[in-house]
Structure 1
Amino acid sequence: MDALELLDLIQKGESSVVQFKVRINDAYKIGTEMVAFSNTKGGLIIIGVDDKSGDINGLSFEEIAETNQLLANAASDNVKPQIFIETETVEVENKNVIVASIAEGMSKPHTDNKGIIWLKNGSDKRKVVAREEMARLLQNSGNLFADETLVNGTTVNDIDEDFFQEFVLAKTKKSIEEIGQSTSTVLSNLGMIKEGKLSLGGLLLFGKNPQQFRPNFTVQCVSFVGNDISSKEYRDKEEPITGNLKELYEKTLSFITRNLKKVQIKEGFNSQSKLEIPIETIEELLVNALIHRDYFILSSIKIFIFDNRIEITSPGRLPNTLTIDNIKIGTSISRNPILFTNARYILPFVGVGSGIPRAIENSPDLELINDTERELFISVIKRPE
């Protein structure tokens, strides 16, 4: 980092990814700051700058050596699992400042040496006490998957037996009778039941009524008049759509298609028509929302149809290192491995990262938004004028 870049950062003040320290002398306290950065999106600790005024105080040669040693000790002894940081000394206005770079952690949740989990909260930090937040940190590090968690109160009797048998036949080319195992055994082999309880993945795929146990996992659909969500007029509206993933897909697709215009392909009264938006785009994005949403967030998928666009809003930002750019070229990370592995037998889902590229090919003006602040992934499909 050069002096101009550093001055620009200092002038913008502290944020969720930049923090100032005049001096540091407490390895535990600076360790808690590193934990918070590691558990969030990473960031910079700039030492030698007053966090109240933004004034550059600078560090002496001895202070630079002491500060680097203290930072290294904090990263190894006061952050668990330990992290590795990068430091550099930048001269600004004839004063030396240390910039410590902390990357987003790959082994979340990180804790301090007292076992406390910290997260960034704006330019400050806060303790994590909610189990849901802890679970999502584990999910981000690949150590916990929502669809593998067990759902209390469920049993094998909550499975739609007929639908599950159709799935088994499609997946194995054999009936359950031919396999010679009970439904519970097959479910167990698929990771969908344990200790007599269904996993969330098993419930979502084959449950008779998943919303009995997870009422938030619905799809909400509204077709508005105009282009603003604050509009009090709507053309069509559904009660929250319920059911297993196949039912959610079919009912939601029906809502969307009935609220779109049909365009005549050729001249002539008897000529065929097609939807104003390619059906393939809608199918790909809807399946993507159902399979890849964050099921640790207790919220619904939302479908909003406006006069000029359709918005499909899915709970959860892109996981781990995924970005808009790399999903456009087919990069994929499985957030829900049970759904990812088995949905292809009940939904139009391939599971090789090709869904988004196909949607873009059919709808080149498709807009994808990874809203990290609100923890949402939004697909915006433009409607023709």
Structure 2
Amino acid sequence: MTETNRIEYKAQLTKDLDLEKEVVAFLNYHEGGLVYIGIDKNGNTLGVADLDADMLKIKDRIKNNIAPSAMGLFDVVAEEKEGQPIIKIIVASGSEKPYFKKKYGMTEKGCYLRIGTAAEPMPQKMIEELFASRTRNSIGKIKANRQDLSFAQLRIYYEEKRKPLNQQFKKNLELLTPQGDINYAGYLLADENNVSVKVAKYKGTTRADLAESNEYGYGSLIKATKSVLNKIELENRTLTQITSKERLEKQLWNGIALREAIINAFVHNDYTREIAPKFEIFQDRIEITSVGALPEGLSESEFFEGYSVPRNKELMRVFKDVDLVEQLGSGIPRILETYGKECFQFSANFLRMVFPSAEPVNKEEDKESTKEGLADRLVDRLVDGLAESQQKIIQLILNNPKISKREMAESIGISTTAIDNNIKTLKEKDIIERVGSDRTGYWKIITKE
């Protein structure tokens, strides 16, 4: 392995600002890049002595020593190579160039650009040109039209991940404008807002015959995202084929790719146009449409290779904190593992992802197969007599055994109290049981013959 225009090796983490120089260079580079700690310039794996401590130091140094803020534009992950622990720093191209080391400011000693395999000082003329054209119309700089906003829901999501928010969370999560007002990112994550997210289902292959319309939103964008994920997971029914040798199962769409596409639409949508992403289910496909063309400087080929230029770094950071995003730049490559590039449609104002279904979405089924779709491996005697909400709870559990009661309520559209009552009934009928604790356990369907 050798260094490239997108890969930099460091034998160890040093105390000088050399790491910051490399990160700044990749932030200013149109493709971003990767910095590996624990590999020397010749590609030899040395490993790191204190993995956890070094990862914390790296996050702290990038957060505090680089401006404009790089939060939401980098990821620090642990990997293993040749039996040795190493650290990989994923750096996305930023939209607020030029980035620089705070100690030296916006000068040739503070600004760097990746050229070939080196971080080179940026000429002063380029610094001035980039600063003059810096993107200012971002959700982090737009003042929210409401300032009387609460964030109880956001606190709950962080507490669930054991990352409680302190009194300074709006500043720490960059939900304030430079003037100290709540910005549009904060507005999107607040308990109440005017953002409506629609999931439509059609009977045919066109928009002529609407079968179902669901609306989520008017609250935390995280809650809306989870509601859409749960709704589409409920629609993504499992297809079963029994052969002489085995029982084969697959879903209408690949679940991993679909999840990545949904989250990608939420995180990278251009909210400055005050339009939310849209989700539409047709007889032969699902379409996911987000607002905004590819970020400036990012080509289609770079997009497919996983180069990340987060449009909304504040949202990216929060979505990653609550584990909706796993690793920076991993979404599109995961989608491409199942679906081809032809499923992506680019225009001047929108990005649309179109995934064909494995069979007709609204396929007519007889009574027996419908029961099987609702409760999968449950025998008929367990399904008969169940209320519709209870059948939906069973389907949600089959799709995601770790689903929470709150997520069930959001998906079905009933209160958590109603969920508790239905679960109590299902337990009394020996249809489901809870295995493990409320925090780390899972639901189990009891399939007695």
Q: TM-score, length-normalised on structure 1?
A: 0.53
Aligned to 2:158: 167
Are residues 265 and 241 of structure 1, via their aligned partners in 2, closer, same or farther at CA, if it must alter by over 3 Å?
A: farther
- 1:252-295, CA deviations, whole angstroms, 9 ceiling, x for partnerless residues? 12332333342126559x96844221111111011001100111
- 1:109-143, CA deviations, whole angstroms, 9 ceiling, x for partnerless residues? xxxxxxxxxxxxxxxxxxxxxxxxxxxxx999533
- For 2:141 and 2:326, locate their aligned partners in 1 and report how far apart those are by CA, in whole Å: 21
- For 1:352 and 1:296, locate their aligned partners in 2 and report how far apart those are by CA, in whole Å: 22
- For 1:285 and 1:107, locate their aligned partners in 2 and report how far apart those are by CA, in whole Å: 25
- For 1:209 and 1:305, locate their aligned partners in 2 and report how far apart those are by CA, in whole Å: 27
Are residues 139 and 274 of structure 1, via their aligned partners in 2, closer, same or farther at CA, if it must alter by over 3 Å?
A: farther
- For 2:242 and 2:321, locate their aligned partners in 1 and report how far apart those are by CA, in whole Å: 36
Measured after TM superposition, the shift of residue 366 of structure 1 is 5.6
Contact 1:147 1:295 in 2 (8 A): no
Map 1:280-299; keep pairs closer than 5 Å.
Answer: 280-299=256-275
Measured after TM superposition, the shift of residue 248 of structure 1 is 1.3
Aligned to 1:150: 143
Q: 2:173 is aligned with what amino acid?
A: L
**How many residue pairs are counted as aligned between the two chains?**
230
- For 1:168 and 1:258, locate their aligned partners in 2 and report how far apart those are by CA, in whole Å: 26
Q: 1:289 is aligned with what amino acid?
A: A
Aligned to 2:204: 226
- For 1:360 and 1:272, locate their aligned partners in 2 and report how far apart those are by CA, in whole Å: 23
Q: TM-score, length-normalised on structure 2?
A: 0.46
Secondary structure of residue in 2 paired with 1:193? coil
Map 1:1-385; keep pairs closer than 5 Å.
Answer: 141-155=134-148, 157-160=149-152, 163-164=154-155, 166-167=157-158, 170=161, 175-176=164-165, 183=167, 185-194=168-177, 197-205=181-189, 207-211=190-194, 217-229=195-207, 231=208, 233-239=209-215, 241-264=217-240, 267=243, 273-364=249-340, 367-372=343-348, 375-385=349-359
Are residues 203 and 107 of structure 1, via their aligned partners in 2, closer, same or farther at CA, if it must alter by over 3 Å?
A: closer
Aligned to 1:17: none
Are residues 174 and 363 of structure 1, via their aligned partners in 2, closer, same or farther at CA, if it must alter by over 3 Å?
A: closer
Contact 2:216 2:224 in 1 (8 A): no
- For 1:208 and 1:354, locate their aligned partners in 2 and report how far apart those are by CA, in whole Å: 29
Measured after TM superposition, the shift of residue 335 of structure 1 is 1.2
Measured after TM superposition, the shift of residue 192 of structure 1 is 1.2
Q: 1:349 is aligned with what amino acid?
A: V
- For 1:174 and 1:305, locate their aligned partners in 2 and report how far apart those are by CA, in whole Å: 36
Aligned to 1:30: none
Measured after TM superposition, the shift of residue 327 of structure 1 is 1.1
Secondary structure of residue in 1 paired with 2:273? coil
- For 2:242 and 2:344, locate their aligned partners in 1 and report how far apart those are by CA, in whole Å: 32
- For 1:163 and 1:107, locate their aligned partners in 2 and report how far apart those are by CA, in whole Å: 26
Structure with bigger gyration radius = 1
User: What fraction of aligned residue pairs are identical, expressed as a percent?
Assistant: 22
Contact 2:279 2:286 in 1 (8 A): yes
Contact 1:146 1:200 in 2 (8 A): yes
- For 1:204 and 1:290, locate their aligned partners in 2 and report how far apart those are by CA, in whole Å: 11
Are residues 329 and 266 of structure 1, via their aligned partners in 2, closer, same or farther at CA, if it must alter by over 3 Å?
A: farther
Contact 2:196 2:215 in 1 (8 A): no
Are residues 190 and 377 of structure 1, via their aligned partners in 2, closer, same or farther at CA, if it must alter by over 3 Å?
A: same
Q: Where does the alignment leave 5 or more consecutive residues of structure 2 unmatched?
A: 1-94, 98-130, 360-449
- 1:23-48, CA deviations, whole angstroms, 9 ceiling, x for partnerless residues? xxxxxxxxxxxxxxxxxxxxxxxxxx
Secondary structure of residue in 1 paired with 2:140? helix
Contact 1:246 1:347 in 2 (8 A): no
Are residues 240 and 348 of structure 1, via their aligned partners in 2, closer, same or farther at CA, if it must alter by over 3 Å?
A: closer
Contact 1:310 1:381 in 2 (8 A): yes
- For 1:380 and 1:352, locate their aligned partners in 2 and report how far apart those are by CA, in whole Å: 23
Are residues 144 and 226 of structure 1, via their aligned partners in 2, closer, same or farther at CA, if it must alter by over 3 Å?
A: same
- For 1:367 and 1:345, locate their aligned partners in 2 and report how far apart those are by CA, in whole Å: 29
Measured after TM superposition, the shift of residue 313 of structure 1 is 0.7
Q: 1:158 is aligned with what amino acid?
A: S
Secondary structure of residue in 1 paired with 2:279? strand
Aligned to 1:115: none
Q: 2:295 is aligned with what amino acid?
A: P
- For 1:252 and 1:159, locate their aligned partners in 2 and report how far apart those are by CA, in whole Å: 20
Contact 2:96 2:134 in 1 (8 A): yes
